[in-house]
Structure 1
Amino acid sequence: MEGDIETEQRYAKLFNQLDSNKDGHVDINELREGLEAMGKRSCHNAEQEILRAGDTDQDGQLSFEEFTRYLADREKRLLIMFNSLDRNNDGRIDVSEIQQCFQNLGVHITLDQAHKILLSMDCDGTLTIDWLEWRDHFLLNPLHNMEDVVTYWKHSSILDIGESLAVPDEFSKKEINSGMWWKQLLAGGVAGAVSRTGTAPLDRLKVLMQVHGSKSHSLSMLKGLKAMIEEGGVRSLWRGNGINVLKIAPESAIKFMAYEQIKKVIRGQQETLRVQERFIAGSLAGAIAQTVIYPMEVLKTRLALRRTGQFSGMSDCARHILRTEGVKAFSKGYLPNLLGIVPYAGIDLAVYETLKNTWLQRYRAGTSAHPGVLVLLACGTISSTCGQIASYPLALVRTRMQAQATVQGAPQLSMLALFRYIVAQEGFLGLYRGIAPNFMKVIPAVSISYVVYENMKRLLGVTSR
């Protein structure tokens, strides 16, 4: 342990780094900028938490004395947390102790996942975390207990961009029992709703190009947007978005509940699930959720393709389909939709984890176990794009099958027959019609979703990760 002089010198050096205007005080803006400059702003609203805990005289800033008292208190708390993790009392935390910590809170991770967490904190390459590494990593990250640390370590995959079928998030027993899980799902649902609404014109344009685009009827993005506005005005750009937003809540809830039950069945007597087992559980949960809400997918496509005044609303559209085509119409395109889950979810998850882990290994000496917002957004954008490229032909065939009855003279074909027909008539590239607007919506969708998600968590009082 350091002596008092060394500790004070270390605190003074840190204070001087934060005190950018050298007035002997650190305000919230200096805290925010300083934490970002040091790469330590990994906890949402960390500067507010630090100021709230350290500002004893309530003047809105930290003096050196207040700052040192705060750090001394933090070190005592961190030492207690470190010792609780160090189960064999050897002064170091290894992967098995990280894994056990998760298991004690009802969250199951593999040794490989625990190893990745350890690598993000292991600065000296010993494959263990000593007290100094632990202290320096969390000193300016205002987490209060081990459950906060575990929650911070976990990766959240709640963000929704309208196409994602990746593995759902996992919650600890306390999060489930306290109802925290539904707040997370609500935050994700609202984020998804805002994100989908913001990118709805691109989504409708994609559907139009998938159904009406062909060699004989060339439909570019500009022509498509112009045609939509000319036919129904600017409001027509959002046709079909209402039901697209409505289906978020049941889909998310069903996926979460199914995922939890499937994990129990797969896990059996095992304590943990391997990555491939989590992928299987996530894919099955996605398939179950899609099966339940699939009629809403058909309605979304029909509403997006409708002409002005054709239907008065969702219920009118549903009655029309039922009356003219029967119940089976609500399952058109179900098979390619189901088959598309595996390549999309598998590739999306694999590419995301590969990119994120590559970043962590290269920059593991950084101060955050979490790569940060921009890195995660980049990983999510690239992985989602790769997943879409792999599964897009199935998505296109699904949409064509859903819309067959609305296109005059269109053949009523099965999935394989429609595949062959599209390739014969339009070539292999015909399977990728409409993918340009689909790509264009990924970055704004992820960005909007992230911003809204974080703000919703703050409003709902959800601990940030």
Structure 2
Amino acid sequence: MIAGAISRTCTAPLERLKVRMQAQVLPPATITLKSGFETMLREGGIFSLWKGNYVNVLKIAPETSIKYWSYEKYKNLLATERATIGIMDRFVSGSLAGITAQTLVYPLEVLKTRLTLDSTSRYTGISNCVQKMLKYEGFRTFYKGYVPNILGIIPYAGVDLAVFELLKNFWLQHHSRDSVNPGIVVLLACSTLSSTCGQLASYPFTLVRTRMQAEEILRGIQPMKMIRLAKIIIVTEGMMGFYKGIIPNVVKVLPAVCISYGIYEKTRKSLGVADV
């Protein structure tokens, strides 16, 4: 949890830029890495780069715990009496674990998006944001974009967890002689590649989800269903419109994984947790 919190905090400016790029609907100008950071700094100074990060950190513990606990449970359920499970079982287990975790923490995801996109200080904090959303939009607004989110979780969680285990097991079988531990460098490489693959597979769903979550923020944009919104994106922005913000999203993968793993190791040792 500590590792994840520090990792997300360090990469929060890239996360906020990604969400702003995803939510950009109309001209006049396309947001770039440079112009995006300049705009955020101009709007609220250096601390504005971390808007929405508190909620992102807040949902780490329940999301991560539920996801990995569910993953192991689903794997055991699918494996039944078999000694090993295949890639399809891992994919299904990862997808179901992701769906389970996201369903329970999804309102926090919507809150994060709203606070991240708030460039006019419309919300004074989390509680104020919750109150205004309930008052003006009702409880259902906390599940806006839920369908594309779940559809995106299937390829993301499935690909991420399955690719990670396959890469790690491949290394252990072909390059490791005396240890079951592949080492830090190998684990970082496996995590980075698996996370990138998962994000590329699910990114169009993530973008549609963000647009639906932000409908109240994007003035002039009427609430719409997932399929209609996807058609509008294709017509007005082309297929590449589904990948707005992909650059900062990919850029933050490696530092996020490295920071998270590095902090995890330091924390584990400081707490006296032994290797197993």
**Same structural fold, with TM-score higher than 0.5 when normalized by the shorter chain:** yes
Deviations 1:355-401 (A, max 9, x none): 3344445424x443322211221222122112111110001111111
The alignment status of 1:210 with 2:22, answered yes or no, reads: yes
**Counterpart residue type for residue 204 of structure 2:** P
Within a 5 Å distance, the mapping from 1:279-298 to structure 2 comes to 279-298=91-110
Deviations 1:30-55 (A, max 9, x none): xxxxxxxxxxxxxxxxxxxxxxxxxx
Within a 5 Å distance, the mapping from 1:37-436 to structure 2 comes to 189-212=1-24, 216-259=28-71, 261-262=73-74, 265-266=77-78, 270=81, 272=83, 274-275=85-86, 276-364=88-176, 366-436=177-247
Larger Rg: 1
**Counterpart residue type for residue 96 of structure 2:** L
Question: Which of 264, 268, 272 matches 1:453?
Answer: 264
Q: Distance in 1 between matches of 2:246 and 2:4?
A: 20
Shift of 1:203: 0.1
Shift of 1:216: 4.4
Residue pair 1:279, 1:346 contacting (<8 A) in 2 also: yes
CA spacing shift, 1:199–1:410, aligned 2, 3 Å: same
- Secondary structure in 2 aligned to 1:219? coil
Residue pair 2:95, 2:154 contacting (<8 A) in 1 also: yes
Shift of 1:266: 4.2
Q: Distance in 1 between matches of 2:65 and 2:235?
A: 41
Q: Distance in 2 between matches of 1:417 and 1:428?
A: 15
Residue pair 2:21, 2:245 contacting (<8 A) in 1 also: yes
CA spacing shift, 1:255–1:369, aligned 2, 3 Å: closer
- Secondary structure in 2 aligned to 1:250? helix
Gaps (5+ residues) in structure 1? 1-188
Deviations 1:382-421 (A, max 9, x none): 2211211111000111111100111111132211111111
Aligned residues: 275
TM-score calculated relative to the size of structure 2 = 0.91
* Aligned-residue CA RMSD (Å): 2.1
- Secondary structure in 1 aligned to 2:3? helix
Q: Distance in 2 between matches of 1:273 and 1:357?
A: 12
Gaps (5+ residues) in structure 2? none
Residue pair 1:344, 1:391 contacting (<8 A) in 2 also: yes
TM-score calculated relative to the size of structure 1 = 0.56
Q: Distance in 2 between matches of 1:377 and 1:265?
A: 29
Residue pair 1:213, 1:219 contacting (<8 A) in 2 also: no
Q: Distance in 2 between matches of 1:450 and 1:295?
A: 27
- Secondary structure in 2 aligned to 1:340? helix
Q: Which structure shows the bigger proportion of residues in helix conformation?
A: 2
Residue pair 1:215, 1:426 contacting (<8 A) in 2 also: no
Residue pair 1:457, 1:464 contacting (<8 A) in 2 also: no
- Secondary structure in 2 aligned to 1:406? coil
Identity of aligned residues (%): 52
Shift of 1:217: 3.2
CA spacing shift, 1:344–1:260, aligned 2, 3 Å: closer
- Secondary structure in 2 aligned to 1:404? coil
Residue pair 2:159, 2:194 contacting (<8 A) in 1 also: yes
